[in-house]
Amino acid sequence: MKCLAILFTFVALSECLVKIPLQREKTRRGMLREKNLLEGFQKTNRDMDTEYITAFSKRGRFKKPLKNLQDLTYYGTIYIGTPPQPFKVLFDTGSSLLWVPSIYCKEKACIRHQRFDPRKSSTFHGTGKRFPIEYGKGSVGVILGRDTVKISSLTISDIEFGLSTSESEDFNKKKYDGILGLGSGRTGSFIDNLMKKGLLEKDEFSVYLSGKTDGSMIIFGGIDQSYFTGRINWIPVKSKYPWWIAVDSILVNSKKIACRDGCQALLDTGTSSLLGPKSEINQIQQAIGKHSFNCRNLHNMPDVVFVINGIQYPLTPQAYTHKDDDHCESGFSSGSKDYDHLILGDMFLREYYSIFDRGNNQVGLAKAV
């Protein structure tokens, strides 16, 4: 029993690995064969890139490359179940639950994407619990279950996730299938469950968002100094759900033009632009001059500076505009509803390497390379 306990916590002691894996492999193989899944499991492991193949994960740091879709979405492939079923997911610090489309959902948004089939996984366990999710745009209804999840070389057994039973039309044309929430605070949140299993070197993850199609990275369990320059500035998290910080003010030409008395902000990898209350966004737009303009005039426009915990974080005109040929538009928006806080999305996070430190409830920001 001692060896079995050690094995399941992924501690690779040779005295246990000599005796236990053969029995475990036989049990898994038998379960797969009984469900007629063995051939599919073997084929999937042959076809999967070596990045995703692992028998036992060590405690450490794990890198996951992300794809950048036109600076609008950063997503990567994960695998759920045994044998593994692949899903493209948006890695989202603005929510806390992992969910993917499922065979229980018959709507267009689900049918157009990869759907999880729990009948084809020998390690799936249903809970019967249902959970509604509301996003800034769109909503999802899920039923909760538990299964094995693989992210790069990181294998997480018995993790809670949602199987969508309904999805609004907002998800119809999304490049990704589902969302992997990296916020915390709710029971069963993905990141808290991951950390409780003791798989990470540190109870933190960090994010580097590139402006190129490839090159973006999320690192579970630590940081990579090659993605930033200078010092890391640490900021207390104001709320455990998900990643809220306080902004002191917003400056243009050294003058306070918004958030004059301080405001709350969410660091959100799931939002492409920078959102906020209409009154605050209007003041920023007035300060920079226009919402839409010729890209050749960018050099005449001012930086927008966010003062956070006493440190200035400037966004250049090149950083806060979206370019389409010679036409540019401001990335500041009040969205479809009147927010009472700021959402510092990918437009901000591309400029600053971000460390989400769950162990100490703080966020680190450093200038991205």
> Would residue 175 count as lying in a domain?
yes
The domain spanning residue 66 has which CATH number?
Answer: 2.40.70.10
51 pLDDT more than 70:
no
The DSSP-derived string for 238-263 is SBTTTTEEEE-EEEETTEEEE-TT-E
> Would residue 16 count as lying in a domain?
no
Q: Which of 192, 248, 268, 346 is catalytic?
A: 268
> Would residue 294 count as lying in a domain?
yes
Coil/strand/helix, residue 45: helix
Coil/strand/helix, residue 184: coil
pLDDT classification of 48: cutoffs 50, 70, 90: very low
Q: Does 193 lie in the same domain as 299?
A: no
Q: Which of 71, 92, 192, 248 is catalytic?
A: 92
242 pLDDT more than 80:
no
Q: Does 315 lie in the same domain as 288?
A: yes
Q: Does 213 lie in the same domain as 237?
A: no
92 pLDDT more than 90:
yes
The whole-angstrom separation of Cα 55 and Cα 39 is 18
Q: Does 215 lie in the same domain as 74?
A: yes
Q: Does 280 lie in the same domain as 188?
A: no
352 pLDDT more than 80:
yes
Final residue before a domain boundary, out of 219, 254, 279:
219
Q: Does 215 lie in the same domain as 235?
A: no
> Would residue 33 count as lying in a domain?
no
The answer to whether residue 268 is catalytic is: yes
> Would residue 104 count as lying in a domain?
yes
| Residue 204 CB burial class (10 angstroms; 0-12, 13-18, ≥19) | buried
Picking from 310, 345, 314, the residue whose alpha carbon sits closest to that of residue 331 is 345
Q: Does 101 lie in the same domain as 67?
A: yes
Q: Does 297 lie in the same domain as 177?
A: no
Final residue before a domain boundary, out of 192, 219, 246:
219
Q: What is the pLDDT of residue 194?
A: 80
Q: What is the pLDDT of residue 293?
A: 85
Q: What is the pLDDT of residue 223?
A: 96
Q: Does 208 lie in the same domain as 271?
A: no
Measure the N-to-C terminal CA separation of the chain; round to a whole number of Å. Answer: 49
> Would residue 13 count as lying in a domain?
no
The whole-angstrom separation of Cα 82 and Cα 59 is 22
Q: Is 291 left (phi over 0), alpha (psi -120 to 50) or beta?
A: alpha
The whole-angstrom separation of Cα 124 and Cα 23 is 20
Q: What is the pLDDT of residue 153?
A: 86
Final residue before a domain boundary, out of 156, 189, 219:
219
Q: Provide the residue type at 153 as one letter.
A: S
Q: What is the pLDDT of residue 58?
A: 55
The whole-angstrom separation of Cα 174 and Cα 93 is 18
Q: What is the pLDDT of residue 13?
A: 33
Q: Does 144 lie in the same domain as 264?
A: no
Q: Are 269 and 182 in contact (CB under 8 A)?
A: yes
Q: Does 130 lie in the same domain as 150?
A: yes
Judged by average pLDDT, the poorest of 30-39, 57-66, 232-241, 326-335 is 30-39
pLDDT classification of 197: cutoffs 50, 70, 90: confident
Q: What is the pLDDT of residue 11?
A: 35
Domain range enclosing 271: 226-368
Q: Does 343 lie in the same domain as 204?
A: no
Q: What is the pLDDT of residue 117?
A: 98
The whole-angstrom separation of Cα 23 and Cα 350 is 48
Q: How many domains does the chain have?
A: 2
Helix axes 20-34, 38-47, angle to 10 degrees: 110
Quick one: which H or E segment has residue 363?
Answer: strand 362-368
Coil/strand/helix, residue 340: coil
Radius of gyration of the chain (CA): 22
The answer to whether residue 303 is catalytic is: no
- Count of CB atoms within 10 A of residue 149's CB? 24
> Would residue 22 count as lying in a domain?
no
pLDDT classification of 19: cutoffs 50, 70, 90: very low
> Would residue 346 count as lying in a domain?
yes
